[in-house]
Structure 1
Amino acid sequence: MQRTVSDDLWSMLAQAGVKRCYGIVGDALNPAFEAIGRHPEIEFVHVRHEEWGGFAASADARVSGGIVAVCGTAGPGVTHLTNALIDALRERARVIVIGGDVHTDIMDTGGLQEVNPYELFRPAAHFVGRVVSAKQARAVFTQALDACATMSGPAVISLPGDIAGAASPLGNEPVYRPLPQPAVGPSAGDVAALARLINAAERVTVFGGAGCEQARDLVVELAERIAAPVGFSLKGKAFLESGNPNAVGMTGLLGYGGCHEALKSADLVLLLGTDFPYPDFLSVGEAKFVQVDRRPELLGRRVPLELGIGASLEALLPELLPLLDERTDRAHLDRALKTTARWEKKLRAYVDDGAELSPIRPEFVAATINELLDDDAIVTIDTGTPVIWAAHHLDFRGQRTHLGSYSWASMANASPNAFGAWKAAPDRQVVALCGDGGFSMLAFSDLVTEVAAQAPVVHVIFHNALLDFVNIEQQEAGMVPWGTALDEIDFARVAEAFGATGIRCDDPATLKDDLRRALAHRGGPVVVDVRVDRFALAVPPGVPASTAAGFVKSLVKQAVHGGFTRVVKEGVDNARLV
């Protein structure tokens, strides 16, 4: 059979290491997917919603480290992809999009399902290429793959059906050679300047993020040499908490431990591999800031810097460490560690006797999951209060890792992220911590996809019949919560109707056994519907005065306008946090 432009596409994708393409075929994509059958090295994963497929592809790419494809046909198909792609862009996931497009002879005529791919994908991709001729196709495919790989984010190939099915103009099968990742090293002057700042400072605090992954041991060595407490973002938690004697937790609304205090009392803060987006939680004292990141465009955009260095930590730290004085004064570190120890006790206020507390406390759910997880488990987390409970009660010892929509904060990511993670690492335990709002938003449609694949993904739903994080936001703003209540759904029964295993848990005494049974299940997905206390709160350290005032104002308004019973219940259910 004559080779087509689509054959060239799939061949180049396979040479780039693509193993899977998620999506839905149809219309403009039909010629492209006629060709994929001739390229069995790439698996097509048929999903029921393109957005779900986009989130799955993003997680697949993050876990595997490779490029993963996702597709949607012209018009509605590609527009369904956009939210998941913006998330992939923010999470630096190598996702390549094969987007259907209208035939070239009706472009720019307002034809059925026509959408301008450049305008549609501008906020969602590093590169957008529209294939308008068979001769041009190879160059677009190459640029898309190069951008996806080297810039660590989505690239889009907009492919009209008439070009996809056209004969390849190439005499031979195209060759694609992946570009090497450029090394990002510091200058000698930058290293010397950083050493001078650290040696001159009296109280140094380290705050690290995802960029510490490949330099975890070096960051720990740095902190021990200069007696620095180590705080971290949620992304950095996976690498910088477990086994780190200087770990002092997190700051911000997810915060716990001595991190806030360590930032407030420092005279120098080292921001290492982090783009923490909440400057008000960083600038809480009088410290000078130094930032190190392999992406120099991020330097200084959150807080003013004394020094910014565009370099990878794994390149910088081996040169820096020999230049640093070893510090024996541990007062700054010991204060932060003492505060962290107090917080560790506080976080267990509703955990240690959680099996006796009804309704079930969400903290107890997260802590019990943490106890049962494998040491190489992958945990995906919905945006919302599941992120709070995961941040406070999961530890990432061993090879455990976690994924979420941390830099975009989309709802409904946990279920598709879990499926994509399982496709990338089928031998690892995968658990999705879902909100009931997020699960009902997107997960239902593709639960059947998980059933068909016999994916042993465990979904744990924190079911409080509430958009809980929004509810908290409204109270912090001084509002009476409105529009946050959700209708009751029996998620376990719905899961059974889809062919999954459903477990409903109302009794805290049976929670551990219910979760143990779910984690042991094989041969398909499990949905554990846990009815949790809808009044449970978390109180982070260093809450701004305006936030506290807003919360009090909201409680007064609720009490005055007929919500007195709810206010009392919220107080009673969180009394141990005071």
Structure 2
Amino acid sequence: MPQRLVADAIVERLEAWAVPRVFGYSGDGINSFMGALRRAGTVEFVQARHEENAAFMAVGHAKYSGGVGVVTSTQGPGAVHLLNGLYDAKLDSVPVVAIIGQQSRSVLGSGYMQEVDLLDLTKDVASAFRQQVNTPEALPMVLDRAFKAALANRAPAVVIVPHDVQKMPAPELEHKHGIIATAPRWEQSASVPVEDDLKAAAEVLNDGSKVALLVGQGARHAWKEAAAVAERLGAGITTSLLGKPYVDESLPNVAGTMGHLGTSASGQVLGGCDTLLIIGSNDPWTEFYPPPGAARAVQIDTDSGAIGNRYPVEVPLPGDASRTLQALLPLLEDKHDLPWRGQVEQWVSHWHELSAERAMTKADPVNPERVLFELNSRFPADGRLAVDVGSSVYWYARQLRLPLGVPAHLSSTLASMGCSVPYGIAAKLDQPGRPVLLVTGDGAMQMTGIAELITVSRMWRTWQDPRFVICVLNNRELAEVTWEQREMEGEPRYEASQALPDFDYAGYAKLLGLDGERVDDPEHVGAAWDAALAADRPYLIEVVTDPETPLLPPFPAGEQKAGSMVDALGQESAESADRATELLRTYVDQEKSNFS
């Protein structure tokens, strides 16, 4: 019988932590670990096309499954490539464990090939936990502490295992000084604030006549309680970008996502409230909160250190969102019939009218808002959604009203392009019997998505439900940056930095054995979604969209920004600038008509 190695002990510890799969890319620094995975056959290895994408897959696994995502890479360049995905986990508060190979201990410090100081490299991104395993006996303890740190801190943890240590005999831990035996177990503490703090919070909320909720991802298991509190207080509900999937968007008091990319209704609710209840959100768009001092605030968060980070809070409530809201609800007065509730519902109704109007606004050739609008009536109730970064996030936040319970994820706080296809693969592997839909721009697709379509083509035949729909909004432009240049810098579009090469995305999908189509007529968008959702294999919808569709912030901020956009467009001589100016003025007029 082959000798049991430290590499085998790594796999055994992953089994103990119920890890179903490890994402990564092989290399000499983890060859022993690869051998152990092969021998065990219990933990699946998922090969990405690039370590950055493997890290995104681990983040996606954690987001969709609720567990810990695990990624592995070799030393040197492989480890460097992991950083973007690990920062995605850090900034969006997601538990990920990275197992990274390293050169043998005997050569460290010699400037050896691919030698990188991995502890120093990862000291910021893995500030919750990073450790190199220098002896076989330390391996179980270090892995256990990494998983516990990742879960407790909702952050990435890094375990570095030199190649020579991986090949050593697996440890039999003796009961003696200097040897620590640990358990691969962790449970979430379900804390509730003390009674005096609950009473103080209730007093603030009961005193308010215009209450708003800001719901973040910390309310992922508390949407019923949040809705009940809002109903009792007659409150309007807004969400952070990460909180969007955790509310019932069919409710008449749900105003949608806040921030620069958010809805006009959310801007009105947050701008008009006199009391704010923040539930599990750390959203950084502070200029879209009420002005400091304009609203009294209560904040619920499991991380007491996050309370008050974005807005001055009068009463902090450190605790689990669901249990805290349950304890708070009996202390709240019934104010559902206050005039504020009617005003909120009117704003929400106006927003729905405005979003439908914008979806049907003529563009050249397709308005990207139309693409997400058409998906509303077709989104599968058991579907899962991945969204990439760029202008596509705006259309997701403003046009798509998710069926209750549908998970939707993106790189929110890091806002890294290229996350959607790796996320989608992780979502599909986690639950292969559910359809997965992706919305991405052409810039993000060119960055990482095209390569990972190869991964999709390799594995889709094993999926219980083969539906994996990729919608590429192809505007041949880095559109979000173009509009940012106009809005924030007063700069005209810069062709060299903004134009993207065109690419036959649907044709490439077919080349890989997938299916797809190119759409350049707005009247054909709905039929394309129908075909994709009925397909017997992954399907890529490439929609040719108009890059001049404005990314106008919600009013009143949008009205202030529109002037600088028009000034910047005045410096552009192209015909497209005239169309962009016309579309921008149309959007401004539509907003004024609905929210004047």
- Name 1:290's counterpart in structure 2: 298
- Name 2:507's counterpart in structure 1: 493
CA contact (8 A) 2:248 2:404 kept: no
- 1:364 maps to amino acid: R
Q: 1:107-122 counterparts in 2 under 5 A?
A: 107-122=108-123
1:156 aligned onto 2:170: no
CA distance in 2, matches of 1:170, 1:337: 65
- Name 1:530's counterpart in structure 2: 543
CA contact (8 A) 1:256 1:541 kept: no
Root-mean-square deviation (Å): 1.9
- 2:414 maps to amino acid: W
- Name 2:77's counterpart in structure 1: 76
CA distance in 2, matches of 1:329, 1:452: 57
Q: Secondary structure at the match of 2:412?
A: coil
- Name 1:59's counterpart in structure 2: 60
CA contact (8 A) 2:249 2:401 kept: yes
Q: Of the candidates 493, 507, 520, which is equivalent to residue 481 of structure 1?
A: 493
CA distance in 2, matches of 1:114, 1:87: 25
**What are the superposed Cα offsets for residues 293-342 of structure 1, whole Å, 9 maximum, x if unpaired?**
11111111112221222112212122211112212552122112212211
1:238 aligned onto 2:245: yes
CA distance in 1, matches of 2:18, 2:158: 17
Q: CA deviation at 1:398?
A: 3.4
Q: CA deviation at 1:380?
A: 0.6
Q: 1:246-257 counterparts in 2 under 5 A?
A: 246-257=253-264
- Name 1:210's counterpart in structure 2: 217
Q: Secondary structure at the match of 1:244?
A: coil
CA distance in 2, matches of 1:170, 1:69: 25
CA contact (8 A) 2:457 2:512 kept: yes
CA distance in 2, matches of 1:164, 1:45: 20
CA contact (8 A) 1:263 1:284 kept: no
- 2:209 maps to amino acid: E
CA distance in 1, matches of 2:477, 2:517: 20
For residues 171 and 234 of structure 1, do their structure 2 counterparts lie closer, same or farther at Cα, with a shift above 3 Å needed?
A: closer
Q: Of the candidates 564, 570, 573, which is equivalent to residue 580 of structure 2?
A: 570
CA distance in 1, matches of 2:207, 2:452: 56
CA distance in 1, matches of 2:211, 2:513: 55
CA contact (8 A) 1:22 1:53 kept: yes
1:260 aligned onto 2:267: yes
- Name 1:385's counterpart in structure 2: 391
Q: Secondary structure at the match of 2:168?
A: coil
Q: Of the candidates 340, 348, 369, which is equivalent to residue 363 of structure 1?
A: 369
- Name 1:520's counterpart in structure 2: 534
CA distance in 2, matches of 1:278, 1:30: 44
CA contact (8 A) 2:247 2:404 kept: no
CA contact (8 A) 1:70 1:98 kept: yes
1:467 aligned onto 2:478: yes
CA distance in 2, matches of 1:193, 1:185: 14
CA contact (8 A) 2:209 2:338 kept: no
Q: 1:12-161 counterparts in 2 under 5 A?
A: 12-125=13-126, 126-161=128-163
- 1:420 maps to amino acid: A
Kindly tell me the number of residue pairs found equivalent between the two proteins.
Answer: 570
CA distance in 2, matches of 1:436, 1:250: 24
CA distance in 2, matches of 1:511, 1:202: 44
Q: CA deviation at 1:264?
A: 2.0
Q: CA deviation at 1:469?
A: 0.6
1:327 aligned onto 2:335: yes
**What are the superposed Cα offsets for residues 246-275 of structure 1, whole Å, 9 maximum, x if unpaired?**
212233212224222222222211111111
- 1:479 maps to amino acid: E
- 2:261 maps to amino acid: L
- 1:374 maps to amino acid: P
CA distance in 2, matches of 1:522, 1:423: 17
- 1:346 maps to amino acid: L
**What are the superposed Cα offsets for residues 444-486 of structure 1, whole Å, 9 maximum, x if unpaired?**
2221111110164211100000001101110102111221111
CA distance in 2, matches of 1:69, 1:274: 25
- 2:546 maps to amino acid: D
More displaced, 175-184 or 10-19? 175-184
Q: Secondary structure at the match of 2:308?
A: coil
CA distance in 1, matches of 2:14, 2:41: 12
Q: Which runs of 5+ in 2 are unaligned?
A: 175-180, 590-596
Q: CA deviation at 1:387?
A: 0.6
Percent identical: 28
Q: Secondary structure at the match of 1:460?
A: strand
Q: CA deviation at 1:358?
A: 5.0
CA distance in 2, matches of 1:471, 1:452: 36
1:274 aligned onto 2:281: yes
CA distance in 2, matches of 1:546, 1:112: 55
- Name 2:443's counterpart in structure 1: 437
CA distance in 1, matches of 2:201, 2:583: 48
- 1:96 maps to amino acid: V
CA distance in 2, matches of 1:260, 1:274: 17
CA distance in 1, matches of 2:559, 2:508: 44
Q: Secondary structure at the match of 2:12?
A: helix
Q: Secondary structure at the match of 1:223?
A: helix
- Name 1:506's counterpart in structure 2: 520
More displaced, 249-258 or 38-47? 249-258
**What are the superposed Cα offsets for residues 393-429 of structure 1, whole Å, 9 maximum, x if unpaired?**
1112233121100111000111111011100111111
Q: CA deviation at 1:162?
A: 0.6
Q: CA deviation at 1:94?
A: 2.4
CA contact (8 A) 1:87 1:410 kept: yes
For residues 23 and 164 of structure 1, do their structure 2 counterparts lie closer, same or farther at Cα, with a shift above 3 Å needed?
A: same
Q: Secondary structure at the match of 1:557?
A: coil
Q: CA deviation at 1:575?
A: 5.1
- Name 2:169's counterpart in structure 1: 167
CA distance in 2, matches of 1:136, 1:333: 58
Q: 1:340-379 counterparts in 2 under 5 A?
A: 340-352=348-360, 358-379=364-385
Q: Secondary structure at the match of 1:365?
A: helix
Q: Secondary structure at the match of 2:98?
A: strand
CA distance in 2, matches of 1:84, 1:171: 34
Q: CA deviation at 1:148?
A: 1.9
- Name 1:450's counterpart in structure 2: 456
For residues 255 and 353 of structure 1, do their structure 2 counterparts lie closer, same or farther at Cα, with a shift above 3 Å needed?
A: closer
CA contact (8 A) 1:239 1:396 kept: no
Q: CA deviation at 1:352?
A: 4.8
CA distance in 2, matches of 1:165, 1:143: 22
For residues 189 and 19 of structure 1, do their structure 2 counterparts lie closer, same or farther at Cα, with a shift above 3 Å needed?
A: same
Q: Secondary structure at the match of 2:471?
A: strand
Q: 1:291-330 counterparts in 2 under 5 A?
A: 291-327=299-335, 329-330=337-338
CA distance in 2, matches of 1:146, 1:251: 33
CA contact (8 A) 2:219 2:243 kept: yes
CA contact (8 A) 1:206 1:223 kept: yes
- 1:49 maps to amino acid: H
TM-score under structure 1 length normalisation = 0.94
1:418 aligned onto 2:424: yes
Q: CA deviation at 1:218?
A: 1.1
Q: CA deviation at 1:96?
A: 1.4
- Name 2:197's counterpart in structure 1: 190
CA distance in 1, matches of 2:209, 2:361: 42
For residues 328 and 221 of structure 1, do their structure 2 counterparts lie closer, same or farther at Cα, with a shift above 3 Å needed?
A: closer
Q: Which runs of 5+ in 1 are unaligned?
A: none
